[in-house]
A and B are shown apart, each in its own frame.
Chain A
Amino acid sequence: MKHIPAAAMLVVLILLLIATVLISVTLGAAHISIRHTVSILLSRVFPGLLEEGIRSSHVHIIMQLRIPRILTALFVGAGLAVSGTVFQAVFRNPMADPFILGISSGAALGVAVGLITGFSTIISLTWGSSIAAFAGGVGATLAIYLLAGRSTGVNTLLLAGIAMNFMLSSVMSLLLYFNRENLESVIYWNMGSLSSANWEGLSVLIPVVLLGTIGMMLFTRELNALTVGDETARSVGIPIHTVRIIVLMLATVTTSAGVAVSGTIGFVGLIIPHIVRLLIGPNHRILLPCAALCGACFVAICDALARSLMPPSEIPVGIITALAGAPYFIYLLKRRGRNVL
């Protein structure tokens, strides 16, 4: 299959992103028209533009609830998709993904431990949870790298990751079992939900995802060579062990920042890199930005569905992404062997 030109793909994705934001900002229990919404948004930049007759409660809904939530969805999605792309490149395996490999579970466990022990409230809930998530995620990544880093065989890696995922999930269940008073909120958060998105959370999420993504973008050549093979990467002068550790840590921290605000949202890091790679090819210089945009749109659309499918109740967005992602994962498993990487 011939690949789509990168410029065309970028233009389509940016248009999709704008459309996604505009549509999802009008969705929700309160009916606020597109015109009023746009007026509210523009008035943040040009204060004179706020139309007469817009209720202040609507301004609040847009600026304090919907916009933070959409931004959170966009940055969580972008971070997960870029991280997934990097995981797939480093492990040279199309099924590597922070969720499947238990990295997200590690970060989630970190957050739960932080909450239960009260560590997270020492500084501030947002920063405390984020730091706890980084610690958990980094721990899980190191464990998997040590278990499977040397043998990049599909089976070793997936088994190590799945074992890790199960183990960490069990520890999580155990923790929750002994701390029942925290049960409901933690379980709901862990299923992946953006309902608690706020500006404070974004103040950690946006810089971490931006810096992490820029960091990974610095290694596009290294990632390209690593996907061809260790031999090739070494031949062209890449210190493979150092590069692997650096990019895996960047991907882990980026993923963990997302987990801290929205729990474990699965399969984004798996299917988005895959679809984008099929469309535009494996060159990371184009792949990473396209995956970021595509992941951002995907999570924002899934979250819009999560909010509007069964009003007034809300489905955790992780359930929607998993419903879309799991069948795709099975499809990939069936197609392996037929050169789908």
Chain B
Amino acid sequence: MRYTKTAAHPPVVSLNHLSWSYGDQQILDNLNAHIQSGVFTAILGPNGSGKTTLLHLIMKHLTPEKHCVYLHTKDIRTCAAREIARMVASVPQQTATGYTFSVYEMVMMGRYPHLRRFQAEGERDREVVRSALEKTETWQLQDKLIHEISGGELQRVVIARAIAQEPDVLALDEPTSHLDPRHQIAVLSLVRRLIREEGMSVLCVLHDLNAAMQYSDHVLLLDGGRIVQSGTAQEVLTAEHIETVYGFSTSIISTASGRSFIVPAEEQYCEPTA
């Protein structure tokens, strides 16, 4: 099991009685969690359960209360945006491709948090970018403009940009929701490889329960702004928990190789009209 090695590592992100509201609408209610280093942590939950808000708070896109979010041992409120960018890199759901930057220029933007205002990109920056392009297998695309490549390629380029930031944590918000099945697998496998080979920690909002089952080490299951379950994918993603949180019944099917898959229970299906 992949999760076993984590006990030795200190947490990269700690949530300590974290709450958040928009106006008088409470979005997150007293979250407590430690995101372990070097593992894939999936954040799951129905729409409106606060997943994306949580991700925004961990990157200080929204500013949490004092002493609620720690990166390593530092209160995020005391960190400047550039400092956070060197610790956490975000991969959004979708990236606009309106302005025609080249793939290489796009990935070089990942070096911005490491460069002072008057400092030009140096040999080391080019080296980091080259390596990020290679790891994401986008090296051959470097001279293309970002609107010339496919959605799957673009998402890999965005991940390359995030890698170029040399962060400890990669924060992904439904990175596969606009991709076809082949690219979904490619992106998530790439993320797993980054954990194994680069020792990165991954925090990933997902809607696809099976993707979480296959790729994550740890799952935080959110519902109504609270963490209702926390544990390994096998522990959290049971038919009972899914029924409680998502409100529909499922069966867990195991394959001969020992993998588990979640399928909606038989009564959920509607016969196709012939």
Contacts and interface: CB of A to CB of B under 8 A. Distances in A.
Interface of A: 92, 94, 218, 221, 224-225, 227-229, 231-232, 234-239, 277, 281-283, 339, 341
B96 to A, nearest CB: 5
B81 A239 contact: yes
B85 A236 contact: yes
| Interface residue tally on B, bucketed by range | 20 to 34
Contacts of A229: 92, 95-96
Interface string B81-117: 1111110011110011111111001100110110101
A77 B13 CA distance: 50
A282 B89 contact: no
Given A231-B90, A237-B84, A283-B105, A221 B147 contact: no
A169 to B, nearest CB: 30
A225 to B, nearest CB: 5
Given A232-B109, A235-B165, A282 B101 contact: yes
B269 to A, nearest CB: 37
Given A232-B109, A237-B86, 17 more contacts: A92-B96, A218-B117, A224-B109, A227-B101, A229-B96, A232-B95, A235-B89, A235-B162, A236-B85, A236-B112, A236-B113, A237-B81, A237-B84, A237-B85, A281-B100, A339-B97, A341-B100
Given A228-B101, A232-B92, A237-B81, A221 B115 contact: yes
B226 interface: no
Contacts of B81: 234, 237-239
B218 interface: no
A341 B98 contact: yes
B196 interface: no
A210 B98 CA distance: 30
B99 A234 contact: no
B34 interface: no
Contacts of A92: 96, 98-99
Most chain B beta carbons < 10 A, residue from A94, A237, A277, A282: A237
B95 A237 contact: no
Contact of A227 (B80, B99, B102, B112): B99
Contacts of B89: 235-236
B98 A238 contact: no
B59 interface: yes
Nearest to B101: A282
B112 A225 contact: yes
Given A224-B101, A282-B101, A236 B96 contact: no
B98 A339 contact: yes
19 contacts: A92-B96, A228-B99, A228-B101, A231-B92, A232-B109, A232-B161, A234-B59, A234-B61, A235-B89, A235-B90, A235-B161, A235-B162, A235-B165, A237-B81, A237-B82, A237-B85, A239-B81, A283-B101, A341-B100
A88 B95 CA distance: 18
Given A218-B117, A339-B147, A235 B101 contact: no
Contact of A228 (B83, B85, B95): B95
A282 B100 CA distance: 6
A226 to B, nearest CB: 10
A281 B144 CA distance: 12
Contacts of B96: 92, 228-229
Nearest to B105: A283
B76 to A, nearest CB: 13
Contacts of B95: 228-229, 231-232
Interface in B56-95: 59, 61, 80-86, 89-92, 95
Contact of A237 (B101, B112, B117, B147): B112
Contacts of B99: 92, 227-228, 277, 282, 341
Contact of A234 (B90, B110, B158): B90
A237 B87 CA distance: 10
A232 B165 CA distance: 12
A277 B100 CA distance: 9
Closest 4 CB pairs of A and B: A237-B85, A341-B98, A237-B113, A231-B92
Nearest to A226: B99
B147 A236 contact: no
Contact of B109 (A218, A236, A277, A339): A236
Contacts of A94: 98
Nearest to B84: A237
Contacts of B61: 234
A282 B98 CA distance: 10
Contacts of A234: 59, 61, 81, 90
Nearest to A88: B99
A272 to B, nearest CB: 16
Interface string B158-189: 10011001000000000000000000000000
